[in-house]
Amino acid sequence: MEFRDLKAQYRALEPEMNEAVREVLSGGQFIQGRQVTELEERLASYVGVRHCVSCANGTDALTLSLMAWGIGPGDAVFVPDFTYMATAGCAAVLGATPVFVDIDRETFNMDPGALEEAIWRTVRDGTLTPRIVIPVDLFGLPAGYGELLRIARKYHLLVLEDGAQGFGGSIDGKKACSFGDIATTSFFPAKPLGCYGDGGAIFTNDSGIARRLYSLKRQGASPADKYDHHEIGMNSRLDTLQAAILLVKLKAFDEAELDAVNRTAREYTAGLASCGSIVTPVVPDGFISSWAQYTILLPDSGKRLEVQRQLKEQGIPTAVYYPKGLHQQPVFRSTAAADERFPHTLEAAGRVLSLPMHPYMKEDDVRQVVEAILSACSHFR
């Protein structure tokens, strides 16, 4: 069994995919071909925002967004403690300081109360200027934007939505990647919408920001003359091949894949309901997840190791996202707050386990995973 079966997806899309790739190869426009603009238009319309600017990966998407806002040394950027490194790295690489915020213990997303506390502490401390909040749509579930946006507005902070795992999710019909003042996503192959290499995109309704992003991703060139540079940018492009691949995948994602992962999630949750020692994922009312991961909580790290071992023996792969909080990363340890501020991150890091999940998963495979877990858990009592 595969954790995320990209080969099954290719088999399902093969004729269309081969044709799309062949068209790029024979057309010879490998950079900035027409597929890139077409994809940007389709993505903006899917998400429901005015502008989509494609780029080389999800990390660049975050960094370019902070650059467009002029974030740098002396600025505080609030990020959840329980996420992938890139969410904080984008701030640190520009000389700004990531300030870590504990998560909600049920959704694993940034906790609004902990955010407000972190803002107060930063203001009281007086060395950094609070500027940006980066909520993450972790595992495919949109963060609690109602509360998070209210707090951000109260303190005049801008919101950068890290939707690298969240593309396709929604709250009351409003799509992920439309909640932040800027939002980003990643097309890394294993993300909900993945390409066959690296890719990323940035979403915003602000035309001025979109223009600035367009320049920053092209070495800071002016829109009118690509050899006229008024500022330092990056080279960050989505190539035509990846755009062509994504056009095929976006159609499948919209027509079938998002529904398929939600069906698989329901099968898992129903199957695991009888086991009292497992906590299955919480999806609040009105929220839809794109299930980048299906992540359960086990009683403790020892039992998690035991379940992982037993599943592996039956050929079932699992993964731990994430084994520690960002405040525990060696690179941040000297500046981050102490463990006591992050009880929910520490608890999640010790107990989470992500199960095989993808749109082409068969019901029999789900049943096999469920039975293996139930059997492993029966030894707990």
Ligand X SMILES: *Cc1c(COP(=O)(O)O)cnc(C)c1O
In the complex, least distance from residue 91 CB atom to ligand X, rounded to whole angstroms: 12
CB closest to ligand X, residue no: 58
| CB closer to ligand X out of 200 and 359 | 200
CA torsion, points 228, 234, 240, 246, in degrees to nearest 10?
Answer: -140
In the complex, least distance from residue 56 CB atom to ligand X, rounded to whole angstroms: 8
In the complex, least distance from residue 337 CB atom to ligand X, rounded to whole angstroms: 21
Instruction: Kindly state the number of chain residues that form the binding site for ligand X, as judged by CB under 6 A.
Output: 15
Task: Return the range that interacts with ligand X (CB under 6 A); candidates 56-64, 239-247, 345-353, 361-369.
Answer: 56-64
| CB closer to ligand X out of 86 and 278 | 86
Q: How far apart are CA 366 and CA 357, in angstroms?
A: 9
- Decide: is 345 part of the binding site for ligand X (CB under 6 A): no
Per CB under 6 A, contacts with ligand X among 156-195 are 162, 164-165, 186, 188
Q: How far apart are CA 237 and CA 29, in angstroms?
A: 13
| CB closer to ligand X out of 40 and 365 | 40
Q: How far apart are CA 213 and CA 211, in angstroms?
A: 5
In the complex, least distance from residue 119 CB atom to ligand X, rounded to whole angstroms: 21
In the complex, least distance from residue 319 CB atom to ligand X, rounded to whole angstroms: 13
Interface residue with ligand X, options 84, 108, 145, 294 (CB under 6 A): 84
CA-closest candidate to residue 112, choices 83, 78, 147:
147
| CB closer to ligand X out of 188 and 253 | 188
Q: Are strands 97-101 and 75-80 parallel, antiparallel or unpaired?
A: parallel
Interface residue with ligand X, options 35, 39, 40, 58 (CB under 6 A): 58
| CB closer to ligand X out of 58 and 180 | 58
Task: Return the range that interacts with ligand X (CB under 6 A); candidates 80-88, 91-99, 175-183, 370-378.
Answer: 80-88
| CB closer to ligand X out of 9 and 83 | 83
- Decide: is 57 part of the binding site for ligand X (CB under 6 A): yes
| CB closer to ligand X out of 46 and 108 | 108
- Decide: is 136 part of the binding site for ligand X (CB under 6 A): yes
Q: Name the residues that contact ligand X, by CB under 6 A.
A: 57-59, 83-84, 86-87, 136, 162, 164-165, 186, 188, 198, 200
